[in-house]
Structure 1
Amino acid sequence: MTQPKLLLLSTGGTIASVASDSGLAPGANGAELVRTLGEMPFDLTIKDILHLDSSNIQPEDWQLIAKTVYEERLHYDGIVITHGTDTMAYTASMLSFMLQQIEIPVIITGSQVPINVVLSDAQDNLRLAFSAALTKHPGVFVAFDGKIMRGARSVKVRTTDFNAFESVNFPPVATVTSDGLVYRPELMRDELTKPCQLQATVETQVALIKLFPGFDPQMLYSMVEHGCRGIVIEGYGLGGMNFIRRNLVAVVGDLIAQGIPVVATSQCLYERSDLTKYEVGREALLKGAISAHDMTSESAITKLMWALGQGMDLAAVKQVFEQDLVGEVTLN
């Protein structure tokens, strides 16, 4: 019987780190990671494509990862990507948009402790990722601490605990129990409606702003003058923005009139933004602010980068933010 074929793409991160004079730094390659797991019931190919702490992962690296996955996807039953945890949620969200309708499981994982440390979480996370890659459930997912999460819903919420990631505003699609890796079929999006196409062009001249009392809205003009082409604002509560004294709403309206998309999301990790409920939200909505609904900030900013990278104008960006492309948003 032919064994399933999996591909491991190693990019560095804590999972591959070793001690150095300047602190932990990526040092182990993919083969060294896998060697700690012993024999495995599948045919595994290993490619080391990056060697970076994830804090150094940039859009150019997203493009390399996405291009590699796209070119290799039809040769394997699943692909596992090892990655640092600090920007894993950004990478998972962006790959979800770049690789829409991917035909196989693409599973991103890492660890809080290097794999060569006793009691590391790395081995369990790697085994989990390989198990998920064998399921034939297509899409981009994060595998961490016994959970499989949609890539565009995952957020790092803890700095040191093994339970570092949560699936925000959407349940994990699978969890590890005494019965093994158990998927919830009602949460899956296995239907493929068109062939996968690589859409890896992104616009990097964007900004993610966390609103705070006293924020000077004029700073947004300076950002646009220096080339910023889109902004995500983490507003208060349901996405409210101030319009008394420092009139952020007026500036947002002016920028939108100039063709600059401004997306409103919430500083609250859970539940949705809703610009229709309070005056501070309705004023922003009337000025043309785009609601992110219940998207994570990581998903909102990467979706904006991706949309602008596809050449979308303001009207098209507004339209795409009212679409659920990869399970990133709940729309009523």
Structure 2
Amino acid sequence: MEKAKPRILLLATGGTIASQPTGQGLAPGLDGAALTAMLPQSILANYAVTVRDILHMDSSNIQPEEWQIIARHVYENRKDFDGIVITHGTDTMAYTAAILSFMVCGIGIPVVLTGSQLPIDHPLSDGPENLRLALAMAASATPGVFVAFDRKVILGTRAVKTRTTGFDAFESVNWPYVAQVSGGGLNLNPGALPPKTGEGCTLKDAISPRVFLMKLTPGMDPELFDMLLQMHYRGIVIEAFGAGGLHFVRRDLVAKLQTAAQAGVAVVVCSQCLYEPSDFSLYQAGRLALAQGVMQGRDMTTEAAVTKLMWALGQSGDPRTVRALFEKNLAGERSMLEKRGMQHDR
């Protein structure tokens, strides 16, 4: 008896992989069926692929409303397919992968985002290779949300786009690759898989987009915090210096953190450094910030920290609940590394 083919749902959202030249530059022009038609029949013959077009957008325009649309399609189809592939533009792919990891946390099938740096109908495109990898990962029976790109598979909460044109566009930050392709095929790394929650999957797509990302620069005016409060932001993520530094001499950012905390604003501090964890208990400035109730991002990516805070604020208006949700490792986004300098081999 012939073995049943893995049932794969391909959700197309647009992006460079689907783009074609227009008078105004590249814009999404191909649908999901056209994307799969670019793959050799010998590849497609291994899967039972169903294609659905749910968006048709440059990923720069994919925002919280689109995240909810994608998450609902994933959740509603999770029991009808063995895996889901999402074709997506690269510019905001890491944000979408991170937020999906929280919205459909505990999902029991692979959900794999992929795209390309060149349109799939370009003769030198990386699109076909990335799409083949995504299909293989979607058929691997490995639950979780992932990014598949350049023969590597990255946990959804650890992916960061680090190159604008290079085919190796994404890195796995502070976490090993989930899988890599070699002469032996798709080599999975079980130690890099997300933790099992044991709670099953429930769609939790409520979100608060009122989160501001602030990159600290020397001499930044603390009055920026007053402006954010006036604009009714509910959360702030601060990329601070090194392992955990903010200035408080002459321009007292720490005092403004206290004002924000008293106003009920959730504040997360992380590092501008891409690798290794932040630790705000090391220096005086960091300890002063922690005393005002700020939450530490530890070894989270900026994309994961921003989307997780948006998601946590969407789940509850209670600051204690928001803190508990943010500080809990839900999808491999934080490993709670306590020792300075500790890092994962990739």
Interval of TM-score (by shorter of Structure 1 and Structure 2):
over 0.9
SS in 2 for 1:194: coil
Instruction: Look up the match of 1:38.
Output: 40
Aligned partner letter, 2:13:
T
TM-score, normalised with respect to structure 2: 0.94
d(CA) in 1 for partners of 2:325, 2:104: 16
- Aligned match of 1:20: 22
TM-score, L = length of structure 1: 0.98
CA contact (8 A) 1:17 1:26 kept: yes
**Map 1:36-75 → 2, pairs under 5 A:** 36-39=38-41, 40=44, 41-75=46-80
In the alignment, the residues of structure 2 paired with residue 19 and residue 64 of structure 1 have an alpha-carbon distance, to the nearest angstrom, of 27
Deviation larger for 52-61 or 255-264: 255-264
- Partners of 1:13 and 1:242 in 2: CA distance: 40
Are 1:146 and 2:151 an aligned pair? yes
Contact 1:204 1:305 survives alignment (8 Å): yes
Identical positions, percent: 52
Deviations 1:43-83 (A, max 9, x none): 11000000000000011100000000100110000000000
Find the aligned partners of 1:131 and 1:238 in 2 and give their Cα distance. Answer: 38
Deviates more, 1:188-197 or 1:13-22: 188-197
1:315 maps to 2:320: yes
Q: Could you tell me how far 1:318 is from its partner in structure 2?
A: 2.1
- The answer to whether 1:3 aligns with 2:22 is no
Distance in 2 between residues matched to 1:145 and 1:240, nearest whole Å: 35
Per-residue CA deviation, residues 188-215 of structure 1 (Å, 9 max, x unaligned), is 2374512210000100111000010121
SS of alignment partner, residue 8 of structure 2: strand
Match of 2:186 among 181, 184, 192: 181
Distance in 2 of aligned mates of 1:71 and 1:253: 42
Q: Distance in 2 between matches of 1:161 and 1:313?
A: 43
Q: Indicate yes or no: 2:290 matched with 1:288.
A: no
Gaps of 5+ in 2: 338-346
CA shift for structure 1 position 305: 0.2
Is the CA contact (8 Å cut-off) linking 1:138 and 1:190 kept in structure 2? no
Name the amino acid aligned to 1:218: E
User: 2:222 — aligned with what?
Assistant: 217
Change (3 A) 1:208 1:9: same
Is 1:129 aligned to 2:134, yes or no?
yes
Following superposition, which runs of at least 4 residues in structure 1 exceed 6 angstroms of deviation?
none
Shift of 1:313: 2.1
Listed as ranges, the gaps of 5+ residues in structure 1 are none
Q: Distance in 1 between matches of 2:162 and 2:278?
A: 19
Task: Give the total of aligned pairs.
Answer: 332
1:171 is aligned to: 176
Per the TM alignment, residue 288 of structure 1 is displaced from its structure 2 partner at its CA by: 1.2
Which residue matches 2:344? none
Partner Cα distance (1:110, 1:189) in 2: 22
Alignment check: 8 A CA contact 1:235 1:267 kept: yes
Whether contact under 8 Å (1:137, 1:190) holds in the other structure is no
Cα 1:184/1:247, change in 2 over 3 Å: same
Counterpart residue identity of residue 322, structure 2: V
SS at match of 1:186: helix
Q: Which moved more, 1:237-246 or 1:314-323?
A: 314-323
Query: 2:239 aligned with 1:234, yes or no?
Result: yes
Instruction: Indicate if the aligned counterparts of 1:109 and 1:125 stay in contact, CA closer than 8 A.
Output: yes
* Cα offset, 1:231, TM superposition: 0.3
Deviations 1:213-271 (A, max 9, x none): 12111111111111101100000001211111110011001211221111001111111
Deviations 1:101-138 (CA, angstroms, capped at 9, x unpaired): 00100000000000000111000000000000000000
Q: How many Å separate the matches in 1 of 2:270 and 2:244? A: 5
In structure 2, what residue type is equivalent to 1:28?
L
CA distance in 2, matches of 1:189, 1:84: 24
Q: Distance in 2 between matches of 1:312 and 1:179?
A: 49
Conserved in 1, the CA contact under 8 Å of 2:17 and 2:119? yes
Secondary structure of residue in 2 paired with 1:123: helix
What is the identity, as a one-letter code, of the residue corresponding to 1:80? Answer: V
CA distance in 2 between counterparts of 1:68 and 1:320 reads 24
Give 1:258's match in structure 2, choosing from 263, 267, 276.
263
By how many angstroms is 1:299 displaced?
A: 0.3
Inter-partner Cα distance in structure 1 for 2:205 and 2:309: 13
Indicate the SS of the match to 1:7: strand
Q: Indicate the residue corresponding to 1:118 in structure 2.
A: 123
Residue identity in the other structure for 2:335: T
Alignment correspondent of 1:97? 102
| Residue among 305, 309, 316 paired with 1:304 | 309
Mapped partners of 2:284, 2:77: distance in 1: 50
